[in-house]
Amino acid sequence: MSKDAILGAIRRGLRRGALPADQTMGLHARLAAHPRHLIPARSQVSRPEQVALFIRNLEKEFATCSRVDDQSGVPGAVADYIAAQNLPPEFAMAPHAELRDIPWDSRPLLTRREGRASASDLVSVQHGYAGVAETGTLMLPAAPDRPTTLNLLCDTEIVILKTSRVVGAYEEGWDLIRAESRSGLGAGFMPRNVMLITGPSRSADIESTLELGAHGPRRLHVVLIDDDLTAR
């Protein structure tokens, strides 16, 4: 069923006709312009301060972070984190080109499998699209080389993120997605979904007692690659 047919069925159900021409033009203009709402001043700081703010907010939300100079330090950071959590040295990894370029063979005891996560996987390694400094949130758009199951099924999720991909506010993250879309439908086409992850999954619904891992990973660790010289 086409979009027009679906919207037409909704209008009929609500007993509404088509929108007046002036309202239609106003909606299209707003969608095209991407107007800004209020942006917190705390995120509009220098690059080093933005990265520091991202890490502080990340850790405030029960996640952890390790920072490496370049991608050669990633295997060691991942191996050290997995060992500290007393987990087997194996993980499911997103089939992303930037993750494949990491010299994983420098830690031969690490075992990786590319693709979607399965219920038996304990650890996932995901490619980080962007990090939002104002809240310590990760932006993870769905894509064939960034499977969403890696964000949901494993008990422990490790996200590899570059400091050059840390932005101040959410609006800047959405700008990246719009500008960098490589869909055949053209620039500005949004992915199927974008997960906004702020810390590990948790809930305090039962007796106001915080429980980690309620609806997803109970551990979230970010390995931050320091590729942006202005952020140091």
Report domain extents, the chain: 1-33, 46-231
Instruction: Classify domain 46-231 at the CATH topology level.
Output: Rossmann fold (3.40.50)
Q: 107-131 b/e with 16+ CB inside 10 Å = b?
A: beebebeeeebeeebbbbbbbbbbb
Predicted local distance difference test score (pLDDT) of residue 192: 86
CA distance 84 to 142: 29
Predicted local distance difference test score (pLDDT) of residue 35: 79
Q: Where are the alpha helices (DSSP H) in the chain?
A: 3-14, 21-33, 47-60, 74-84, 97-100, 170-180
Q: In what order do the strands lie in the sheet with 130-132?
A: 166-167, 130-132, 137-141, 194-197
Q: How far is CA 211 from the centre of its chain?
A: 22
Predicted local distance difference test score (pLDDT) of residue 208: 59
Q: What residues form DSSP beta bridges with 197?
A: 138
Predicted local distance difference test score (pLDDT) of residue 1: 64
Predicted local distance difference test score (pLDDT) of residue 60: 95
DSSP 3-state of 199: coil
pLDDT digits 0-9 by tens, 15-39: 777 778 887 888 788 777 777 888 8
* Residue ranges of the chain whose pLDDT lies below 70: 1, 182-189, 202-215
